[in-house]
Amino acid sequence: MRSVRVRATLAATLVVAVALGIAAAVLVTALRASLKDSADAEAARRAVLAAPLVLQGYRAKSKPAVGLEKAPDPDVIVGKNGSVTTALPADDASVTTWAQPGDFAVASMTISTEAGPATVYARASLAPAQEALDTLNRALLPGIPALLLVVAGMTWFSVGRTLAPVASIRTKLAHITARDLHQRVPVPESKDEVAALAGTVNGTLDRLETAVETHKRFVADAAHELRSPIATLRARLELADPSELTREALRDIERLQTLAADLLMLARLDAGEPMLTDELDVGQVAAEESLRHTTSKVRLELDVQPDVVIQGSRGHLARLVTNLVDNAVRHAAGTVVVRVARKGDQAVLEVLDDGPGIPPEHREAVFDRFTRLDEARARDGGGVGLGLAIARDIAVLHGGTLVAQDGGLIARFPVNQVAGAIRLDG
């Protein structure tokens, strides 16, 4: 993508180049015509001055006129051997030889002599005109490219200064996320369209921040308020007489509790609440949480490397492992593998299953909230489409990543490094 700065510089340079080219062509053409007209006028003037001398020569009847031992002008034909005895006829071929084409401007004048009509030819050299044109060309040839370089440099500099606030706005916007919508882009003091743009962007951020905060409060309040009546309803159903209806109602209540807990967790993650961090052994947390959430229908295999330590929150990391293992258990055919290893400066957590897997085209969409693949999982599978979204948010909060791959999911965290968390001691 070509930048506005480059396009503006190229456009300005091209326009100036075309204008200078046209101006130079007009200047050279006009100067050439003017110099040619001057040479023609000089040749005509010489012919007029020589005409009386030619007439004097005819009156002297072939005798040299007084003062005509030499030709009165080397560029005027006045006769032979320096004496005026006759004038060359207008159709004499010697005129062509005498005035080489392109070297001189030639003028002729017909006069009446005692011997009859005669023509006086005079010439003026075009060398001064050509020298003037050459001088102009020597000035234009390096001058026009130099001027174009100056125009390009000035345009590049001025457009760069004009667009510098736009670059600052773009850089600032690129770093604003849902967790720091309180930040604003810088407003330049130029009072121009760029300043108006910055003001409009900040106004939009104000409205967006208000809307997001309202949404967060709504989700948090709704999730919090739902927990109590759901817990009460579950207690009443558990005390009721056992039946198929109560068992189905209890399963639905369990899903509602999970949904409320997930919504509350998302609200806290979106709000950017600081979390208590400490050194954690990823293998130990993964093993404990995996064993706690597996079922007898699925065989669990642990491949845990010891002393893979990161800086993070024990509760958040446990929630990430729980979500990944629950997801794998729901879709495994019979085996779930949890693997923890240190690779370079990263702690790698893999949760794999022998199920159908996630199609490559859906491996990013599964991390969207409330996203479920209909062909891979059913509504009664226990999930609500928030587990993977929460797990990725937790991974990002710890400075890591979570992606889908062939066979399962893989999370990576920086080893012994706080990233995205605030350490709270005490």
Residues 242 and 292 in one domain: no
Instruction: Read off the tokens for 407.
Output: 């066979």
Residues 35 and 75 in one domain: yes
Residues 198 and 255 in one domain: yes
109 neighbors 47 (Cβ within 8 angstroms): yes
Q: Is 240 helix (H, G, I), strand (E, B) or coil?
A: coil
Q: Quick check: is 374 in a domain?
A: yes
For 392, counting Cβ atoms within 10 Å of its Cβ (0-12 exposed, 13-18 middle, 19+ buried), the class is: buried
Chain centroid to CA 413: how far?
32
Give the range among 15-29, 212-226, 315-329 with minimum mean pLDDT: 212-226
Report, as an integer, the average pLDDT of 59-69. Answer: 39
Q: Which domain holds residue 239?
A: 176-273
- Write phi, then psi, for 26 (nearest 5 degrees): -65, -40
Residues 248 and 283 in one domain: no
Distance of alpha carbon 403 from alpha carbon 366, whole angstroms: 10
Domain end position, chosen among 273, 302, 327: 273
Residues 246 and 304 in one domain: no
Residues 280 and 399 in one domain: yes
What's the pLDDT band for 391 if we cut at 50, 70, 90? very high
47 neighbors 108 (Cβ within 8 angstroms): yes
Q: Tell me the pLDDT tens digit for each residue of 256-296.
A: 887 888 877 877 777 666 777 888 899 999 999 888 877 77
With b for 16 or more beta-carbon neighbours within 10 A and e for fewer, the 34-59 pattern comes to: ebeeebeebbbebbeebbebbbebbe
Residue 241 clears pLDDT 90, i.e. is over it: no
**335-343 and 299-304 beta bridge pairing:** parallel
Report, as an integer, the average pLDDT of 220-231. Answer: 80
Residue 66 — left, alpha, or beta (φ > 0 → left; ψ -120 to 50 → alpha)?
beta
Residues 36 and 101 in one domain: yes
Provide DSSP, 257-299. Answer: HHHHHHHHHHHHHHHT-----EEEEHHHHHHHHHHHH--TTSE
Residues 192 and 265 in one domain: yes
Domain end position, chosen among 240, 273, 306: 273
What's the pLDDT band for 392 if we cut at 50, 70, 90? very high
Chain centroid to CA 178: how far?
24
Q: What is the pLDDT of residue 80?
A: 37
Report, as an integer, the average pLDDT of 348-362. Answer: 89
Q: What is the pLDDT of residue 71?
A: 39
Q: What is the mean pLDDT of the chain?
A: 79
Q: Which helix (H) or strand (E) holds 330?
A: helix 314-331
Regarding predicted confidence, which is higher, 84 or 415? 415
Residues 307 and 354 in one domain: yes
Q: Tell me the pLDDT tens digit for each residue of 181-222.
A: 788 888 888 788 888 988 999 998 899 888 878 877 777 777
State the total domains in the chain.
Answer: 3
Q: What is the pLDDT of residue 218?
A: 79
Instruction: Read off the tokens for 177.
Output: 């996320």
Q: Helix 387-397 crosses helix 314-331 at what angle (to 10 degrees)? A: 140
Residues 74 and 192 in one domain: no
Report, as an integer, the average pLDDT of 133-140. Answer: 88
Q: Tell me the pLDDT tens digit for each residue of 19-51.
A: 999 999 999 999 989 988 998 898 888 878 877
Helices vs strands, H then E, count in the chain? 8, 9
CATH number at residue 403: 3.30.565.10
Provide DSSP, 296-321. Answer: TTSEEEEEE-S--EEEE-HHHHHHHH
What's the pLDDT band for 237 if we cut at 50, 70, 90? confident
Q: What is the pLDDT of residue 3?
A: 79
